[in-house]
Amino acid sequence: MINSKELLQYTKELSLLFAEDHTELRVNTTEILKNFFKNVDSAEDGEEALTLYKDAYKNDNPYDLILTDIQMPKMDGVALTEKIYEINPSQIVVVLSAHDESAYLLPLINLGIEQFIKKPIDYQELLKVLLNIAKKSTHNVQENINMTITPLSDNFSFNKETKILLNNGESVYLTKYEIIFLELLTQSSGKIFSNEDIVSYFSNINETIDPQNIRKLVSKLRKKLPEETLESIYGVGYRIVTFY
């Protein structure tokens, strides 16, 4: 049996979003989870869950963990997970899976799902999985903190948490769109982001950018960064080159 005190030790500062269309299961599970997590929000379908996720992410208060059913109205768990990963590729997602939903599992595995839990839910199993995930998250707290700082040169760094670009310890002024763009590029250093990726990222946080204006944004941001930090890959997109 799971040790409730041990679980609480690791989860008491974490937030969780639970998406499930079955009302009784959603309500009962949410009440159980509230005993262990700092904040638990629930949604009755994928669309509502995505709205809650976007709002939390936009307000710099993202969820630590997502728990979602597969089959839901309006937007299923696969589509929800895809949308979430477009916003935050490192988001931890746990999926509830019934025995007759095997056709959905391969796409979710390919997306990089953290864990599957069989339905009907064995709550001891669920809490054990959450404990293991929370332990890993806590163990990597310092690593995660370090990951918020992206070094761009000997003198430059970008703090993804505070959204501040520093040059020799002094803040460099960035516009709102420059910050958003830099956040995207530093999510996965070295990855090339196409115009479509950039437009989609802005859209996911309820901002709009015209593809024709991306080149202007790149040109202005490049002047504020170390030389050769922001690369244009002809016909493909843009990437950030970090310094290690």
Question: What topology is assigned to 4-144 in CATH?
Answer: Rossmann fold (3.40.50)
pLDDT number for residue 243: 58
Residues in the chain: 244
* Confidence at 86, pLDDT banded by 50, 70, 90: confident
Q: What is the mean pLDDT of the chain?
A: 85
Q: Is the pLDDT of residue 6 over 90?
A: no
pLDDT number for residue 45: 95
- Would you call 164 helix, strand, or coil by DSSP? strand
User: What is the distance between the alpha carbons of residues 177 and 179, in angstroms, rounded to a whole number?
Assistant: 5
Q: Where are the domains of the chain?
A: 4-144, 148-240
pLDDT number for residue 16: 95
Pairwise pLDDT comparison (241 vs 69), residue with the higher score: 69
pLDDT number for residue 154: 81
Report, in this order, helix, strand and coil percent for the chain, each rounded to 5: 45, 20, 35
Q: Between β-strands 39-43 and 15-19, what pairing exists: parallel, antiparallel or unpaired?
A: parallel
User: What is the distance between the alpha carbons of residues 164 and 174, in angstroms, rounded to a whole number?
Assistant: 8
Residue listed under structure tokens 């040059």: 167
User: What is the distance between the alpha carbons of residues 49 and 33, in angstroms, rounded to a whole number?
Assistant: 17
pLDDT number for residue 53: 95
List pLDDT tens digits, range 14-70: 999 999 999 999 999 999 999 999 999 999 999 999 999 999 998 888 899 999 998
The average pLDDT across 141-153 equals: 64
Question: What topology is assigned to 148-240 in CATH?
Answer: Arc Repressor Mutant, subunit A (1.10.10)
User: What is the distance between the alpha carbons of residues 217 and 232, in angstroms, rounded to a whole number?
Assistant: 12
List pLDDT tens digits, range 173-198: 999 999 999 999 988 767 889 999 99
List pLDDT tens digits, range 211-240: 999 999 999 999 999 988 899 988 889 998
Nearest in space to 75 (alpha carbons), one of 100, 99, 54: 54
Nearest in space to 80 (alpha carbons), one of 15, 14, 19, 16: 19
User: Which is it for the CA torsion 160, 162, 164, 167, positive or negative?
Assistant: negative
Burial class from Cβ neighbours inside 10 Å (0-12, 13-18, 19+) for residue 234 reads exposed
Residue listed under structure tokens 């935050």: 88
pLDDT number for residue 103: 61
Distant-in-sequence, close-in-space partners of 213: CB < 8 Å, separation ≥ 6: none
pLDDT number for residue 145: 46
| Cα dihedral 32, 145, 48, 100 in deg (nearest 10) | -60
* Confidence at 141, pLDDT banded by 50, 70, 90: very low
Other beta carbons within 10 angstroms of residue 112's beta carbon come to: 12
Report yes or no on whether pTM surpasses 0.85: no
pLDDT number for residue 100: 57
Beta bridge partners of 117: 96
pLDDT number for residue 172: 92
